[in-house]
Structure 1
Amino acid sequence: MRVILVWMLFLSQFAFAEKAKNDIRVHLQPAVFSVTMVMIHDVVNPPAASRFYTYCMLGAYEIVAQNNKEIVSPTTFIQSMEPVKMEFAAGYDYRIAALYAILETGRLILPSGYMLEEDQKKLVIALLRDGHSQKKINEAIAVAQEVSKKIAANAATDGYLKLSTRVRYRPKKGDAYWYPTPPGYIEGIEPHWKTIRPMLIDSCNQFVPKPPVAFSKDSTSEFYKLTYEVYAVGKKMTEKERFIASYWDCNPFAINTSGHMSIGFKKISPGGHWMNITGIVTSKANLDLDRGIMVHALVAATLMDSFISCWDEKYRSSRIRPETVINRYIDPKWQPLLQTPPFPEYTSGHSVISTSVSEVLTYFLGDNFAFRDDTEVIFDLPTRDFRSFRQAAEEAAISRLYGGIHYRDAIENGQVQGKAIAQFIIEKLQKKGVKPLI
């Protein structure tokens, strides 16, 4: 049923684009959604997903910046990104080139990128129906292909390709440290992610949060109180809390067991959820294509840096998950509402990235920017109305306590970490002349 819903939404995105003749902006959200679909297919983990989104958007952003003097080039503030020299026939439609570059970069760097070839064909058909000539489309595609090759080459130097050659991660020994959790007992995801070259921040350890509350088995200790809170919330959860936890689950691959059978369910990543929100709000704000692409690219880069910072702390503290502690010392039969993710607990990833992105979106579109989020409709959940990006981020953060997968200090300190990252990024953008859009 979920597969059918996903493809229905996928087709509707293109149907909507084809109805809006001559308004090229409507092709942006479907292009990004196409990339999301491939990542859902490939079960791309959250940190890696943020990286793929970033590179898919950077080529499009640079094409726009080279053709619109009001848009500040990403090469002025993105680490190790040189201006892309483009020597093509004058008069090519840079907007078409930028859109196509999103798909072309994804085709080159995603594991199943070949799947985007069909989306490229659909985009061309939609553009022809909009009245663009085949000649203009071909000229733009040539630009997109050349730029995407250079973006892919740059991506190959960020450390990602070396991850598989690094020493296999082994959990630390001791009662205080993370250990793989049921039902899959999957080994730690991306333990060396801190080695990835960041986009906007200076280094992986630039925003180290304060240490987590120290582990203790003592029932009077602060750590035990944090653990018991997770346990108590899980035992007496309201329907509203249960819904919020499920809404922000964003687990790319959850395993459901029934007897001896295990069934995997693919879902959108936390970054994918915020990228879709970005598409919704840039459309509602009536931004032109150029600024819509810029905001998507900067949200993606913020996501990428936030995951790098968060993952640096996760594998430094390697803190044990609530499920493990509760099962060992409180209730061996207790289970969290959400499936515990396969990596250490501190800090909360969703808290970090949701806070940082909400601050960046607030910078561009203002506080109290109300929006309706339909991201989770494809996973049988209803639309949600939020009065601001910060409200959505607050809910995403506390959802991890309701879901039983994070202690409160990991959530709150994750929010502090995310806000610090965002403030640094916003100050850098301000210095380079990237201004609010509303």
Structure 2
Amino acid sequence: MKKVIVLFLLLGFAACQQQQPDPFPTPVLDPSTSVALRWGQMTLSIMYQLPLNTPTYGSRSLGYAGLTMYECVVNGTTTHRSLAAQLSGLTALPLPESGQMYNYPLALNAGQAAILKNLFAFAPTDRLRRVDSLEAAINGEFISITQPDVVTRSASYGKAVAEAIFTWSKTDGGFEGYKRNFDPGYSFPHGAGYWNPPINGQIVSGFPLHPTWGKNRTFAPANSTLPVPEMTAYSTNRSSAYYKEFAAVYTKNQTLTPEEKAIAAWWGDDPTETFSPPGHSYNLANIVVKTAGPNLVKAAETYARVGMAVADGFVNCWKAKYTYHCERPSTYVRANIDPAWTQFWPEPPFPAFYSGHSVQSAASATVLEALYGTSFQFVDTSHQGRPRDQIRKIDYVPRTFNSFWATAEEAALSRFYGGIHTRQDNEIGLAEGKKIGQHINELTWSR
């Protein structure tokens, strides 16, 4: 009898376990929305460990890719309006022929293929072939249910939009930026408090990355007028705010917990190993679209807002970096606190103030909040399946969040844990990113 009862209880427990609802159920996406999602994923597939790609050039590319996606579908709706004549220097874009039928998912399909091949013309041939393969596969899915003339007209329209946006992109200051990542002719200041090329860095370079990127055109005109924020004045006095900022980084690096190390690694996003920091934000857009299941135009709007937000974030951040040429904690700590110190995470090849991770994560979170609310539960799977970091003994385990802003705060904090940014760098980056995202939100998206 006891065996029967135990068996009954075990079966009952198993049944309860099976009936537990999935806390993050994946909606069945509309086929049109699926087209947008697949192109968002393809974009990051191209960017993953892409030689010559950088956070700066990558962010710019995401801005144009997301905008192209949106503009290829916006004229098929009665709820949204084009951003032409709202963005810096973009006066007009091609329009659909009046009275003609279009399949806007096919327009998006053609537009994404065209813009990605233009933006990433330097990518390996096999990656560009993936673009052609996806375009052909999506065409095949819609051809059987779409009249031939509509198929042709829609693809032509999408390509025309993409070509117009790409032509406009050539005048922003960052065109083919991958050809001049490091400028040997750039003269950066030397002395106490100034940036030095990293000893323990992501890559070996004696010059800083894209020193003139801060002069590039922004997408939202309002983001070009943001003043460079002030930073704490240099000092070696132990009671000064400057000293305390760097001493806090040093102290924290002595006592990092396994969880703090995992956070530093999750948001590291070295472009030679991942799809870069802005790619992480764009992947959050992928996850949100997959989780929320919006209609096609909202999905495209999601990519456009995130892409332009991170692009403008990097322009403004680089303006500050090359105004101050501020040193990293490694330089200051070794000169004033501990000559033998090495930070936990490899540092990138450009000045510190303020944090690029912080500004672009905050800008992205701000635009996602505007679209999906301040409370949105999801799992960040960006690095799921990535091999264990054997040097630091860290596994890449997906992370759960209850809001977009929580991702921004954690991304910022990761740089403090990594030993490559002070809290000031991160806090100001978050504040500036929120302003930048708000300016993207303030564009007129709805009719």
Query: In structure 1, how many angstroms separate the alpha carbons of the residues matched to 2:170 and 2:51?
Result: 19
The one-letter code of the counterpart of 1:112 is F
Q: Which residue of 2 aligns with 1:418?
A: 433
Q: Establish whether residue 402 from structure 1 lines up as the match of residue 417 from structure 2.
A: yes
Native 8 Å contact 1:64 1:71 kept in 2: no
Tell me what 1:100 maps to: 110
- Specify every segment of 5 or more residues in structure 2 that has no aligned partner in the other structure, as ranges: 1-27, 388-395
Conserved in 2, the CA contact under 8 Å of 1:21 and 1:129?
no
Cα offset, 1:347, TM superposition: 0.6
Q: Which amino acid in the other structure matches residue 187 of structure 2?
A: R
The letter for the 2-side match of 1:31 is W
Deviation per CA, 1:198-232: give whole Å up to 9, x if none: 101435451422x2222222233222221111111
CA distance in 2 between counterparts of 1:343 and 1:235 reads 24
Partner of 2:167: 153
| Unaligned stretches of 5+ residues in structure 1 | 1-19, 254-265
1:344 aligns with 2:351: yes
Q: Which residue of 2 aligns with 1:260?
A: none
For residue 3 of structure 2, what is the aligned residue in structure 1? none
**Structure 2 residue 233 is the aligned partner of structure 1 residue 219:** no
Residue 244 of structure 1 aligns to which amino acid in structure 2? I
- The residue type equivalent to 2:218 in the other structure is P
CA drift at 1:37: 2.3
Q: Distance in 2 between matches of 1:202 and 1:26?
A: 33
Q: Helix, strand or coil: the match of 2:319? A: helix
Query: Is residue 2:98 matched to residue 1:91?
Result: no
The residue correspondences of 1:172-211 to structure 2 (distance < 5 A) are 172-183=189-200, 184-186=203-205, 187-202=207-222, 204-209=224-229, 211=230
Separation in 1, partners of 2:164, 2:240: 54
* 8 Å contact kept, 1:362–1:389: yes
1: distance between equivalents of 2:189 and 2:385?
38
Q: Which moved more, 1:94-103 or 1:326-335?
A: 326-335
Q: For 1:327-376, what per-residue CA distance to the aligned partner results, in whole angstroms no more than 9, with x for missing partners?
A: 22322332222111111100111111111211111111101111111111
Question: Does residue 154 of structure 2 align to residue 144 of structure 1?
Answer: no
* Worse-matched range after superposition: 30-39 or 369-378: 30-39
SS of residue paired to 1:178: coil
Amino acid at match of 1:110: F
CA offset at residue 87 of structure 1? 5.8
Question: Which deviates the most, 364-373 or 124-133?
Answer: 124-133
Aligned residue number for residue 55 of structure 1: 64
Q: Helix, strand or coil for the counterpart of 2:400?
A: strand
Residue 28, structure 1, aligned to residue 36, structure 2 = yes
User: 1:434 deviation in Å?
Assistant: 3.5
Alpha-carbon distance change, 281 to 333 in structure 1, aligned in 2, over 3 angstroms: same
The answer to whether the Cα contact below 8 Å between 2:223 and 2:436 also exists between their aligned partners in 1 is no
* 1:167-206 superposed Cα distances (whole Å, 9 cap, x missing partner): 8322212111011102444221111012211101435451
Letter of the structure 2 residue corresponding to residue 149 of structure 1: E
Matched, 1:168 2:177: no
1:170 & 1:202 partners in 2: Cα distance? Answer: 30
Q: 1:123 to 1:132 in 2, by over 3 A?
A: farther
CA contact (8 A) 2:36 2:69 kept: no
Instruction: Give the structure 2 partner of residue 309 of structure 1.
Output: 316
**More contact order relative to length (CA 8 Å, sep ≥ 6):** 2
TM superposition shift of 1:134: 8.5
Give me the whole-angstrom Cα distance separating, in 2, the residues matched to 1:334 and 1:385.
Answer: 33
Q: Does the CA-based 8 Å contact 2:375-2:402 persist in structure 1?
A: yes
Is the CA contact (8 Å cut-off) linking 1:71 and 1:291 kept in structure 2?
no
Q: Judge conservation of contact 1:306–1:356 (CA < 8 Å) in 2.
A: yes
Comparing 79-88 and 165-174, the one that deviates more: 165-174
Cross-structure match for 1:68: 77
What is the Cα-based RMSD across aligned positions, in Å?
A: 2.5
Partner secondary structure for residue 42 of structure 1: coil
Distance 1:407 1:117, change over 3 A: same
SS at match of 1:75: coil
Pair 1:231 & 2:243 matched: no
Is the 8 Å Cα contact of residues 205 and 312 (structure 1) preserved in structure 2? no
Letter aligned with residue 228 of structure 2:
V
- Which residue identity does 1:28 align to in structure 2? A
Shift of 1:140: 2.8
SS in 1 for 2:226: coil
Give the equivalent residue in structure 2 for 1:361.
Answer: 368
Q: Distance in 2 between matches of 1:29 and 1:234?
A: 39
Once the two structures are TM-superposed, the CA of residue 84 in structure 1 deviates from its matched residue by 1.8
- Please tell me whether the aligned partners of residues 100 and 144 of structure 1 are also in contact (alpha carbons under 8 angstroms): yes
Identity between Structure 1 and Structure 2 (%):
27
Give the whole-Å Cα distance in 1 for the aligned partners of 2:410 and 2:353: 18
- Give the Cα–Cα distance (whole angstroms) in 1 for the partners of residues 334 and 30 of structure 2: 59
Partner of 2:87: 78
Q: Is contact 2:106-2:155 (8 Å) kept?
A: yes
- CA–CA distance in structure 1, aligned partners of residues 261 and 169 of structure 2: 39
Deviation at 1:385, TM superposition (A): 0.8
- TM-score normalised by L of structure 2: 0.83
**Structure 1 position 324, deviation (Å):** 1.3
2 CA distance for matches of 1:204 and 1:76? 16
Secondary structure of the equivalent of 1:340?
Answer: coil
Q: 1:283 to 1:161 in 2, by over 3 A?
A: closer
Partner Cα separation in structure 1 for residue 39 and residue 176 of structure 2: 29
- 2:132 aligned to which of 120, 131, 140: 120
Aligned-partner Cα distance in 2 for 1:160–1:108: 14
Q: Partner of 1:246 in structure 2?
A: 265
